[in-house]
Structure 1
Amino acid sequence: MKQQTIRRWAWIHKWSSLVCTAFMLLLCLTGLPLIFMHELHHLLGDQIETPVISHAGPNASMDSLMAAAKARYPKLVPQYMYREDDEPLQWVVRLGATPTDITNTHNVVLDARTAQVLGEPKDDEGFLYVMFKLHVDLFAGLPGMLFLGLMGFLLLIALISGVVLYAPFMRKLPFGEIRHQRGDKLKRLDIHNFLGIVTLCWLLVVGATGVINAWSDLLIKYWQFDQMAQMVAPYKNLPPPTAFASLQQSLQVAQRAEPEMQLGFIAFPGTPYTSRHHYGIFMRGDSPLTKRLFKPVLVDAQTAQLTDSRPLPWYLVGLLVSQPLHFGDYGGMTLKWIWAVLDVLSIVVLWTGLKLWWKKRHQYVPDIQTRIILSEAS
């Protein structure tokens, strides 16, 4: 590799790394507890337990569940209805002052068998909420998400440039050799390079999926403008309904339309995932992969008649697949622990890289790694 090319790649690696390192450290530190979010919710007592009762009959209807939730807050309107994978006997109904309100919402947890209210958990407070907001948008909304997406893109550049530099640097060294006898500077550099190459694939996966997730709001808005607008086009100039059909009957319509799928969640009229005239009933599969992939079924909220159903476009499929992959949420606890170990190793890579720069900040280029690569290449 020519010396000028090496210097150019070294410059790219140095500055792309420096710009994003502090934020990548933050994301690794906040992402570590989020890998075990469900387990920590149980440990911290945030999870509402389902009572053990003798129940032989059918579960409560969706209308009974909705009536129980609205009885708690009669002046609020339902926004979403969903359940967690690890709590199949619970339904959560989110209500707000308006269908799009995000500041004054309440979550009502219901027993799916009896429609009994089990509790009203808060999802906007506590340690995990702070970690989640810092990890997703730095408490800055969409601008924060896009900024972190840019930092993720710089991370990908740093990784690619690091691989380009690694090959000539390690040409005459055994893989994984740490030169302890050559001083702290070389030892720190060897540790940084070795752990960097060990965690490379994981960092590429997590970095790429993080960049995709940073665009989630914009991708959903585009889907609303494109696909959703086509699905509800016949209702464009109609006034919103004043009377609503049975939610249970509407669900049955969706289940007949997609008999091989199960209910994922319901978006109520006026929310971003549907229109003012429809129940947005999102169906999903039951395998580790297909349960992440939703298919919207729009049911007329006034007549309970099927309006439209179509698969999600490729860009939303990519988004839905990338979200659990980002947190290692595909393969149970084994994959989560692997993700956690790689996360810790990545923190070491970022920290050693930062220390390398700090130690040589008063030196002129070429720095130690560039000098070694140039000497090996000559």
Structure 2
Amino acid sequence: MSTRAWTWVHKWSSLVCTAFMLLLCLTGLPLIFHEEIEHLPGAVEAAPMPEGTPEASMDRIAQAARERRPDDVIRYMFWDPEEHPNLTYVSMASRVDAPPDENNAVVVDSRTAQVLDEPRTNEGFMYVMLKLHVDMFAGLPGMLFLGFMGLLMVVAIVSGVVLYYPFMRRLRFGALRTRRSARIRWLDWHNLLGIVTVVWLTVVGITGSINTLDRIILAIWQQDQMAEMTAPYKGLPPVTRPAHLQKSIEAARAAAPDMAVRLVAFPGTAFSSPHHYTFFLKGGTPVTSRLLKPALVDAQTGVLTASRDMPWYVKTLFLSQPLHFGDYGGLPLKILWTLLDLAAIVVLGSGLYLWLRKPRAAPVPGAEAEPDAEPDAELAPVAAVEAKT
């Protein structure tokens, strides 16, 4: 491709997605620190108790949640011992097949089976930031749209890198022409920050696009492996008197003693079947702690019926999620992610500024721009070379 063709690709891929990438950068900043924000004063935590205090039966915990919300049914229970030790989160709704957004949460102390809180999960600052970042309050269409914007960002990055060398070949790397016009100064900062963060921007853009496919990927898993594991129960009536939850969770733990249960989907929910509890387990290594392994337990007998590793496409999704938000390396990596995100915001904003302030006069055909001269209007929006996140 010619330089002019690459310029056209870069310009339009950048301009189309810049506003949406700015939205994702801005909303992504607080989401990087969502765990720390959840621990701010006022957040519910389990009361201190002697180390080794045994956990209550899962049946007692489930019963406590049902007593608090007698008109609802339990759909999911999950645990996060690293961030919220000794707490069981119970997700309830008016019926087992209610829409995914219907979530009445109950927080229970895992040792005493005492209800501690009923947090509202569909309101507040972090909820708004998450919804804007994930789907702009537009559901699956919004997610897929943002995924497409992420792919356009990757196109802008690649085309911007192609244009970077011919544009900067007569300038020192990182040169900032501080005595030139404001537009030239912003162009230099745009190019410098863009090329320095190009790898990070590419990784975040690709993983973000993968994350927007999570509903589709999980639906494929349900139609594939989940359907295979539950095939023997096809056509049987749903379970009306489920087995004890504690007995079922012990059967799941016995199948993978080196893993820990992190979530259980109750019979009839999207991630189970009308005949099973589905327990999702995590390992203890840096990699396996990011993956989930399902274990299906017959909801009537409490006997394990199937368990297998997730397919490669689901593992890819699980591994891309922590990489996107930088939450696999503790606070230092989150700070680095924040600095890179701020740099991306500058690249995006400067790219938009350069486009709005592009020179009116057209360059002489075939003329080569001097390194200290006003850049060609088509090359100036080296706009978003890497301007997206």
TM-score bin (small chain): over 0.9
Once the two structures are superposed, what CA deviation does each residue of 1:201-252 show, in whole Å capped at 9, x if it has no partner? 1111110000000111111111111111111011110010111101111111
Once the two structures are superposed, what CA deviation does each residue of 1:251-280 show, in whole Å capped at 9, x if it has no partner? 111111111111111011111111111000
Counterpart among 60, 67, 77 of residue 71 in structure 1: 67
Native 8 Å contact 1:273 1:280 kept in 2: yes
Counterpart among 273, 276, 279 of residue 275 in structure 1: 273
Native 8 Å contact 1:285 1:291 kept in 2: yes
Q: In the aligned structure 2, how far is the partner of 1:372 from the partner of 1:299? A: 61
**Cα distance change on mapping 1:230 and 1:361 into 2, 3 Å:** farther
Counterpart among 327, 335, 338 of residue 337 in structure 1: 335
Native 8 Å contact 1:169 1:372 kept in 2: no
Give 1:43 deviation, angstroms. Answer: 2.4
SS state of the match for residue 84, structure 2?
A: coil
**Cα distance change on mapping 1:364 and 1:214 into 2, 3 Å:** farther
**2:40 paired with 1:43:** yes
Q: In the aligned structure 1, how far is the partner of 2:227 from the partner of 2:359? A: 54
Counterpart among 42, 51, 55 of residue 59 in structure 1: 55
Once the two structures are superposed, what CA deviation does each residue of 1:57-81 show, in whole Å capped at 9, x if it has no partner? 5210111111111111222111110
After TM superposition, the runs of 4+ consecutive aligned structure 1 residues lying more than 4 A away are 54-57, 361-367, 369-373
Counterpart among 5, 17, 32 of residue 8 in structure 1: 5
Give 1:331 deviation, angstroms. Answer: 0.5
Counterpart of 1:303, as a letter, is T
What is the aligned partner in structure 2 of residue 376 from structure 1? none
Counterpart among 66, 73, 80 of residue 76 in structure 2: 80
**Cα distance change on mapping 1:43 and 1:372 into 2, 3 Å:** closer
Counterpart of 1:331, as a letter, is G
Q: In the aligned structure 2, how far is the partner of 1:320 from the partner of 1:131? A: 21
* Counterpart mapping for 1:140-179 below 5 A: 140-179=138-177
The number of residues matched between the two structures is: 369
* Counterpart mapping for 1:1-378 below 5 A: 5-43=2-40, 45=42, 47-54=43-50, 57-84=53-80, 85-101=82-98, 102-360=100-358, 362=360, 364=362, 368=376, 370=378
Once the two structures are superposed, what CA deviation does each residue of 1:164-188 show, in whole Å capped at 9, x if it has no partner? 0011222222111111223222221
Native 8 Å contact 1:249 1:304 kept in 2: yes
When normalised by structure 1's length, the TM-score is: 0.94
Counterpart of 1:235, as a letter, is Y
SS state of the match for residue 85, structure 2?
A: coil
Q: In the aligned structure 1, how far is the partner of 2:52 from the partner of 2:150? A: 51
SS state of the match for residue 11, structure 2?
A: helix
Structure 1 stretch 50-59 or stretch 18-27: which is displaced more? 50-59
Question: RMSD over aligned Cα, in angstroms?
Answer: 1.8
SS state of the match for residue 43, structure 1?
A: coil
Native 8 Å contact 1:6 1:370 kept in 2: no
Identical positions, percent = 53
Give 1:296 deviation, angstroms. Answer: 0.2
Give 1:97 deviation, angstroms. Answer: 1.2
Q: Which runs of 5+ in 1 are unaligned?
A: 374-378
Q: In the aligned structure 1, how far is the partner of 2:187 from the partner of 2:270? A: 49
When normalised by structure 2's length, the TM-score is: 0.91
SS state of the match for residue 344, structure 2?
A: helix
SS state of the match for residue 270, structure 1?
A: coil
